[in-house]
Every structure is written in C-alpha cells, then in structure tokens.
Amino acid sequence: MSIHYQEEERLFTLHTDNSTYQMQVDKYGYLLHLYYGRRTEGCMDYLLFYSDRGFSGNPYIAGRDKTYSLDTLPQEYPVMGTGDFRNPALILCNGDGSFSCCLLYESHRIMKGKYGLEGLPAVYAEKEEAESLEITMADPVSGVKVDLLYGVLPHCDIITRTVRIRNEGEDRVTLENVQTACLDFVSGDYDLISFNGRHAMERNFQRTPVEHACQTIGSRRGMSSHQYNPMIILADHECNEDHGACYSMSFVYSGGFKAQVEKDQTGGTRALMGLMDDLFSYPLDKGETFQSPEVILTYSGHGLAGLSHNLHTCIREHVCRGRYRDGGRPILLNSWEGCYFDFTGEDIYRLAVEAKNLGIDMIVMDDGWFGKRDDDISGLGDWVVNEDKLGESLGHLVNRITDLGMKFGIWFEPECISEDSDLYRAHPDWALKIPGRDPVRARYQLVLDFSRKEVVDHIFNAVCSILDQADISYVKWDFNRSITDIFSRDTSVQGKVLYDYVLGLYDFLERLVERYPDLLLEGCSGGGGRFDAGMLYYAPQIWCSDNTDAIDRLRIQYGTSFGYPVSTMGSHVSAVPNHQTGRITPLKTRGIVAMSGTFGYELDPAHMSQEEKDEVVLQVEEYRRFRDLISQGLYYRLTNPFTEETAAWMFVSEDGSEALVSAVMQQVHGASLCTYIRLKGLKAGESYIEEKSGRIYPADALMEAGYPLPVEPGAYNAYQIFLKKI
C-alpha cells in the first residue's frame, strides 16, 4: 500500500520507495500540506507553526484564535480570497462577481491503479504498479467541488497530481486561474532550476536562488514554447548531480503554462505549476466540470542525476506509448537540410537509395510535398500530394522506396494554414483571427482554430487520406508558430479557446495513434518548441531543436536531459559548415552527439566523399550496436557544457555491466592539459575493460580520479569509450 489514511488524525500519507508526501485535514476542515521529501514514517503535523502575524487574517471559523491563518500555514490547494495572500492555485469568480472559494474537506477515496484523464495525456501504469487518491473539497457557498487527484507510482518515486473542478451550484462560476499542483515547504533554502531558450537554442540550464520575490516562468504562446520548458526543479543550495535533495514539477500539457516559485514572509517556499492564466477565463455552468492537465512530481535525495533517472523512467515507461515505446526506432534520413523545399520524387528516391547504402532504415520527406509549397509562403492546409512537383503519385514513390527495403516517413503541419491556400480561400473563418483586426502572421502563416471540432475533423480526414495512400511508417508533426489572435466563432467565451484548442489537438492525436498503431510519430515545433510530456504521450520522440550544430546541441541536449530521456530527443547528423551556425565540426563529433538521441541524418549524402560515407556506415553500425544501452540505460551527466570546456556524459546498463562514455572538446589550446573525466554509475569494487585498447581499469578509480581523454590537436574532437565489466 502506498497511500494511507489515518482516520484519527485525518492524515493522508503517500509513500514511494524513497519519498513521502503528507497532508492533513485540520480541525476546521482545511487541507494542510505537511511534508514532501525523504521517506519517513509518522505524523509530521509537528511542523506546523502557529503564530499571530499582523496582517495575516484569520478565517471566521477560527474565532478569536489569531494564530490560525491560511496566510502562514502550508496549503495543499490555496485559493484566492480566503486570506492567503501568496500565489494562489485557484482563482474563481462567483456568479455575483466575488472572488472566493473556501475549500473544505468533504470525502476521499483510495483506488488501485493510476487514474486516467478523459481527453488529456496522463501518466499511466498497470493496476498493480500504482495507487490513486481522490480528495474532494467543497465550497459550501457556491456549491463548487474540487477533486484533488494523486497518482502514486512507488517504484519510480513519482507522484502525479491533477484537479477536477465541478460546479454543483446554481450559478455560473468562472475559473480565472487553475494551477494543478502546489508545493508548500515550511523550511529550506532552495534554488530554482529552469530551462529557457529561443528558437534553435532551447532549454538552456539556469539556476537561481529562491529569494523573497516571485520567480515566474511560463508561456502565453498557446504552446509550451522554446522560451521556457514546462519543467522546473527546486534544489537545496548544496544539491549537485550526485548529492542533496531536489524536487521537480513537469507539466503533462502542450499549451501555455505557468510555474511560480516564491519565498514567503515566514521563510516558507511555495511552488506552483499549471495553466497560463493570461488569456484564460473558463466559465463553468451548473453541472459542468473542468479538468486540469496533470503535473508529475518527483523527489530525489541523491542529487540531480537521481531526479533525472526518476523522470526518465516515468516518461519512457509511463508516458510514452505505442509500438516504438521501448525501442526499434528507425534510423532515418530527413530531407530538410539536404533539399529544403527543392525536390522531386526522383530526388527523394535518390536519397532513399543513398540512405540504404549507408545502412539507414527510413527516408523522411519533409516540408514541400503538398499543395503549392515551394517556399513557406503558401500551401499549408492543402494536404493534397503535389504530383506535378513529385512527378509521380505518393503511392508510386513510396512503393519504389519500400521495394528497396526502406521505410518511408512524411512531414505534416496540421494546425496551420497559409492565406495562399485552397483551404483558406474556402474557409477563411477557420483561421484564428479577431473580427475587424488584422491577424499577426508568423512565418507568413496563421493557426487553424482547433477548438472547433469541424476544423479538427476536416484536417484529420485530409491527413488520413494521405496516410491511406501509401505504406507510411512515420509522421513528423510540426507546428511552426506561436498562437495569437485568440478568437473562435464557436464560442462567446474567448477565455476558453486556448485550452479547448489543446484538447482539439489531443483529440486529433489520440484518433491518429488509435487508427495507425504502427505509425511512429515525431513531435516538432520549429524544433523543440513543444517539447513536453503532453506531446510525448502521443509521439515518443520530438525533434529537439532546429539547431543541428553539434556544439550547440551539447547544451540543448544537456538541458533537455534533466527532464526527458535520451530516447525522446530527435537528433541528426547534418552537413558542415552547419546551416545554423556556420561552424565546422568533425563528422565523428556530429555522430557522437547525434547518437545521444534518436539517431538520424539530415543532409544530402551526394555531397559527401566516399571516405565520409564509409564513416557514416560505421556510425550507423555503432549506433545500432549501442542503441539499447543509449535508449534504456541510466544516463549520467559528467560535466556541465555551459561552464566546462569538455562536454561529457555516459550511459550505464541497468546491471552496471556495460557503459558508454561520450566526450566532446569544446575548446582547443596550445600545450593542452589532460582532461580527466570522472565516470559515474559503475559497479564499485569491479574492473572494466575498454574495448578498443583492451586496457583494464578499476571502477572506483575511474569514478574517483577519472578517465584521461586523449590530448590531440584539432577543433571539436570527440571520443566514445565503451567499457565492459569483467
């Protein structure tokens, strides 16, 4: 049993193998958060500190007790208007225009298995792998009920949270802000680790102390965004990769989000994660229910590596789904950087032949095959094969390719529309636009109103009719702009459009994976603009960044690795000089960096020398050999590429018998010193043999003194070291 309720103390305790989460219904019926951290037994209500603080008011029910204030006690689900002036989890406007909702405990139930969510992605588990708790809170005045749901996956040290808000009153209420999860810590000094970026430079690691101020990250873009990833970490100041306590919150959602961390007047810390409340105002009429997206929580008492391991397992085994969840993903050659919009069917076929000769499994025909699409100004929305451009039908082309023994994949951007398209000419009102105003264009395109079912249905049918024309193994689902001009013709309440849009997107994706269970989906949004656990529920891999430069990728993939497993990171070898940075890196380096992801190529092999092609053949063989270790092994960050000259990381098989170390020199100097990389995760007391040299190393020394990297001239050298336990 991982969930316990003690009636006498009205105490809820959630245990995972290494963590404990506890809350208590107090004497007035409020639900107070007591504890989250290292696994422990007993009741932690001794942590509650009652004191009379000026300007921290008292609920009426507390009578003359000036020491009882919701402003100073740790809350499980704080609501605006109840005397707690810290950041709220819920802002609800009543029918009379007042902002208040006093949530008191009503009931609870404990269930076997992990709850699921209708229409939304969520962590899943076998019945015996998880337990769920539902605590129902009720506001006696409005009739609003709030179900707080918890899912516990003990072996992964994962706790999930979500909230369901039901209007059982008479009047309409409006949700102005719904945060899914709140973590109140009564003590501690933390750092906030978050991942910021921009298009083609996503998920840069940032660590800042939590002070008496509110730090907020989020996205108003209708997508999780390149600018901030919906995953944060709270770490003790002294926490590092290997030691110390840390917590994370990951949003299982692909639209706008908000995450806030604040140190309060009493020295407590509050962290919240949920929907972006700007552009959000969701009415609930009598009898209606609102379901928030899920947040994944995890705790590690063994530093950031342990935290990432928890999240990697959770996402790999309890978020990603489908035939390719556990592996077998094809090594692909994508046409984009090799051809951009300029190709014919014959060109794609030629790429497929080249790819076949290199040992690659699949050719992906990227943007440019449909409608009138020779550049990014026109064609989006017209999901009809441009046979004039290809010079043949899709079925014909794909047959030629599959006859080679190759798989075929194709690119779509289902959510967008070009003004210069037949679809726009037929249905100009299907694009998001505010009446009387010119819309904001981005990459010349507009966004389809996916909050409208008829729009989703039309595009779904168009996409299916393409997928039904040929033997298509893979779809790259792209989304190349942020959402603006929030206005839907289907509703008078524009504050619900962005949320309903994401539900429309998920409905489409769910229908797609149901109809094509063997299809591999790769998410993409100008690279990693929608790299989140929500998309990973449908697409087990996401194109990590439009930046394919091996050196920039070290940082992008490092940042991504904190919250997401390597098996989700789309990563390709591209040509040099790199198209985004102009940098020239060795092919070997590009290969080693791309291997720390779902490996592939994105170039025209015709421009490679025979020597380079020979090297690619070896790379492909090497990746195939190490693929399981890379995608299923424990991933360790060995250095921080933001602050250290050498980027290094490694994979260790679960039983510790094999390890693959990768290192890239970001700098080169005269009279270079030797770089020693301290390895991790090896079996203490054992020895390992390095395959290429046959040299034997003691594991403890490798972890203590390090492995000396070769000192060689040349820019951006990279090394891959395979070790086997003897």
In this structure, what token pair is assigned to residue 585?
């890196």
- Helix orientation angle between 453-467 and 497-515, rounded to the nearest 10 degrees: 30
- Beta carbons within 8 Å of 488's beta carbon, 6+ residues apart: 432, 449, 451, 452, 494, 497, 500
- Beta carbons within 8 Å of 29's beta carbon, 6+ residues apart: 104, 105
Closest CB to ligand GLA among residues 394, 524:
524
The alpha carbon of residue 480 and the mean position of all alpha carbons in its chain are separated, in whole angstroms, by 17
Least distance in Å: CB of 336 to ligand GLA?
5
367 belongs to the binding site for ligand GLA (CB under 6 A): yes
- d(C-alpha 27, C-alpha 535), whole Å: 42
Closest CB to ligand GLA among residues 24, 545:
545
- Using the contact rule CB under 6 A, the part of the chain among 21-29, 41-49, 169-177, 524-532 near ligand GLA is 524-532
Least distance in Å: CB of 527 to ligand GLA?
5
Least distance in Å: CB of 78 to ligand GLA?
39
Reduce the secondary structure of 449-481 to three states and give it as a string. CCCCHHHHHHHHHHHHHHHCCCCCCEEEECCCC
Least distance in Å: CB of 419 to ligand GLA?
17
Least distance in Å: CB of 27 to ligand GLA?
56
Question: 215: how many CB neighbours lie within 10 A of its CB?
Answer: 17
Q: Is 1 exposed, middle or buried (0-12, 13-18, 19+ CB in 10 A)?
A: exposed
Least distance in Å: CB of 230 to ligand GLA?
19
Q: Check 532, 602, 604, 658 and give the catalytic one.
A: 532
Name which of 208, 195, 183, 217 is nearest 298 in CA terms.
Answer: 183
Closest CB to ligand GLA among residues 241, 347:
347
- Using the contact rule CB under 6 A, the part of the chain among 267-275, 309-317, 494-502, 522-530 near ligand GLA is 522-530
546 belongs to the binding site for ligand GLA (CB under 6 A): yes
- d(C-alpha 218, C-alpha 277), whole Å: 10
- d(C-alpha 357, C-alpha 432), whole Å: 46
In angstroms, what CA-CA distances link 218 with 194, 272, 299, 358, 447?
10, 11, 22, 42, 21
Burial 293-329 (b: 16+ CB within 10 A, else e): bbbbbbbbbbbbbbbbbbbbbbbbbbbbbbebeeeeb
Closest CB to ligand GLA among residues 474, 719:
474
366 belongs to the binding site for ligand GLA (CB under 6 A): yes
Least distance in Å: CB of 478 to ligand GLA?
5
418 belongs to the binding site for ligand GLA (CB under 6 A): no
Closest CB to ligand GLA among residues 418, 473:
418
Selected from 123, 524, 593, 677, the binder of ligand GLA by CB under 6 A is 524
- Beta carbons within 8 Å of 688's beta carbon, 6+ residues apart: 659, 682, 696, 697, 699, 702, 723, 724, 725, 726
347 belongs to the binding site for ligand GLA (CB under 6 A): no
Closest CB to ligand GLA among residues 526, 600:
526
Closest CB to ligand GLA among residues 165, 360:
360
In angstroms, what CA-CA distances link 103 with 108, 165, 198, 275, 295?
14, 11, 40, 20, 21
Closest CB to ligand GLA among residues 339, 352:
339
Name which of 161, 265, 252 is nearest 214 in CA terms.
Answer: 265
Residue located via tokens 């516990």 = 152
Residue 438 annotated among the catalytic residues of the structure: no
Pairing of strands 246-252, 144-153: unpaired
Selected from 336, 537, 599, 626, the binder of ligand GLA by CB under 6 A is 336
β-partners of residue 62 are none
Angle at 532 between CA 528 and CA 533, to 5 degrees: 150
Least distance in Å: CB of 232 to ligand GLA?
25
- Using the contact rule CB under 6 A, the part of the chain among 225-233, 523-531, 623-631, 697-705 near ligand GLA is 523-531
Selected from 150, 411, 508, 716, the binder of ligand GLA by CB under 6 A is 411
Selected from 527, 534, 540, 597, the binder of ligand GLA by CB under 6 A is 527
Least distance in Å: CB of 368 to ligand GLA?
8
Residue closest to ligand GLA (Cβ): 367
Residue 532 annotated among the catalytic residues of the structure: yes
For ligand GLA, how many residues bind (rule: CB under 6 A)? 11
Kindly identify the residues of this chain, within the stretch 477-496, that bind ligand GLA according to CB under 6 A. 478, 480
In angstroms, what CA-CA distances link 433 with 150, 430, 459, 489?
38, 9, 18, 9
Closest CB to ligand GLA among residues 71, 367:
367
Closest CB to ligand GLA among residues 290, 336:
336
- Using the contact rule CB under 6 A, the part of the chain among 263-271, 298-306, 324-332, 519-527 near ligand GLA is 519-527
604 belongs to the binding site for ligand GLA (CB under 6 A): no
Least distance in Å: CB of 371 to ligand GLA?
13
Q: Check 26, 171, 485, 612 and give the catalytic one.
A: 612
- d(C-alpha 387, C-alpha 77), whole Å: 56
- d(C-alpha 561, C-alpha 386), whole Å: 39
Q: Is 50 helix (H, G, I), strand (E, B) or coil?
A: coil
- d(C-alpha 252, C-alpha 147), whole Å: 18
Contact positions toward ligand GLA, by CB under 6 A? 336, 366-367, 411, 478, 480, 524, 526-527, 543, 546
Among all residues, which ones are annotated catalytic? 532, 612
